[in-house]
Amino acid sequence: MASAERQGTELLAVADVNVGGDRPHDIRVHDDRFWGRVLRDRELGLGEAYQDGWWDADRLDEFLVRVFTADLRAAIRPSPSLVWNVLRGRIVNRQTTSQAVRNAQAHYDIGNDLYLRMLGDEMVYSCAHWKDADDLASAQAAKLDLVCRKLGLEPGMRVLDIGCGWGAFAHHAAANHGVHVTGISPAGEQVDEARRRAGNLSVEFHQQDYRDVEGEFDRIVSIGMMEHVGPRNFGTFFDRCRDLLVPDGLMLHHTIGSNESKDNTDAWFDRYIFPGGVVPSLHQIAGASQPHWTVEDVQNLGPDYDRTLLAWHDNIEARWHEIPDYDERFRRTWRYYLLSSAASFRVRNLQVFQVMFRRTVRVSPRYDAAR
C-alpha cells in the first residue's frame, strides 16, 4: 500500500470510516490519486476529488459528520493554497461594492430554474423553522412569520430588506402585515424574479448594494445576507443601517454563524460556492455593532438548518431531470455543497443566529457634566 493511501486509511479509521466498507458512511475510492490530493489540499482536495468522481459514499453527510467530529482536518498540514486563502482574507477586502456584485452573481445568478426546484415555490433560500412544521413550505412560512413578529410589523411601516433574494420575505410581510417593503440585492436575476412575483403588493425591488441605499425606514431586516458582508465591512454595514433606520426602529439580522471569529471561509466553499463569503461569529457581530446598537435578543436556529438542507437536497435530486443544462460535475458540486453544509450544522460547527437590535440612546457629555 502506498504511503499516502496508508496514511489516509489510518486517518479515516480514527473517524470509524472504512474504505470499501458496507456502512452508509464508508467510502469507495475510484481513483488512487484521491489520497495524495486530500493529504495535500485537505478540505479543498476532498471536495474537488468528490466533484471529479474520485470517491463516493452512500451517505455523504454522515461520512462528513464523522470526519468533522474526529477533526481529521487538524491532522493534515495546510498546503500553500490553503495558507493563501487565510492570508487573503486578512489583507484584501473581497466585499467592496464592485466585488460584492460579482460575488453575488457567481452564486445567485446561475439559474432560477435550479433554485425553484431546490427551494420550492416560494424560493426561500435560508434556514426554515421546523418547530411546529412537517414540510418545507410550512417551515419556511413559520420562519418568515417569526421574523415579522419579532420586528413588530404594523400596517404602513416602511421596511428595508437587505439581500432580498427572490422576494419571499417582502411578499410575505406586505401581504400579511400591510407594510411597504423595499428589497435590495446585487444579483440581477433575483431582482427580476422578485419583481415578477410582486403582483399588486406594496413592494419594490432594486439591484443595489446596501452602501448605496437612501431613505429612512421603520424596520431593517436581512435574512442570509451578513455572510456576504465580510469582516472588513461590518463597521460600515452597521453604520449604514444606523443612517437608514428611524431612531425608535428595530433591526433583525438572520445569519449563519461561526463558533469562532475568522477572516476567511472554507477554501472549497470560497472557490466553488460563495466567493468572498465569511460566516460571522457572535463576537464579530456584537463588536461591530458597538456603541450604536443594543442587542435586544439572540436566538439560535442552527439545528433547523440541517433538516432544511436535507429537504433542499431531496428536492433537487428528485427533479434533476427537469434541468438538463447542468452537467454531472455541477450536480456533484451542488450535492457536496448541500450535504457537507448539513453535516456542519449537525455537528454544531455552524449555527444560525437571529439577532435583534435597537439603536442605542446615548446621553451627551454636556448633559452628564450639567448634572
Are the C-beta atoms of residues 96 and 116 closer than 8 Å to each other?
A: no
pTM for the whole structure: 0.94
What pLDDT is stored for residue 371 in this prediction? Answer: 41
**CA dihedral (150, 155, 157, 163) positive or negative:** positive
Percent composition of the chain: helix, strand, coil (DSSP 3-state, to 5): 50, 15, 30
Domain ranges of the chain: 3-77, 98-367
Q: State residue 299's pLDDT score.
A: 98
CATH superfamily for 98-367 is: Vaccinia Virus protein VP39 (3.40.50.150)
* Distance of alpha carbon 232 from alpha carbon 243, whole angstroms: 19
State the pLDDT at residue 305: 98
Those residues of the chain that have pLDDT short of 70 are 1, 362-371
pLDDT at 367 (0 to 100): 44
Q: What is the pLDDT of residue 365?
A: 53
Model pLDDT, residue 333: 98
Q: What is the pLDDT of residue 213?
A: 98
**pLDDT (0 to 100) of residue 193:** 97
For residue 112, give every residue at least 6 positions away whose Cβ sits within 8 Å of its Cβ, in sequence order, or none.
Answer: 123, 166, 189, 193
CB 48 within 8 A of CB 329: no
Tell me the pLDDT tens digit for each residue of 19-39: 999 999 999 999 999 999 999
CB of 220 closer than 8 Å to CB of 245: yes
SS3 138: helix
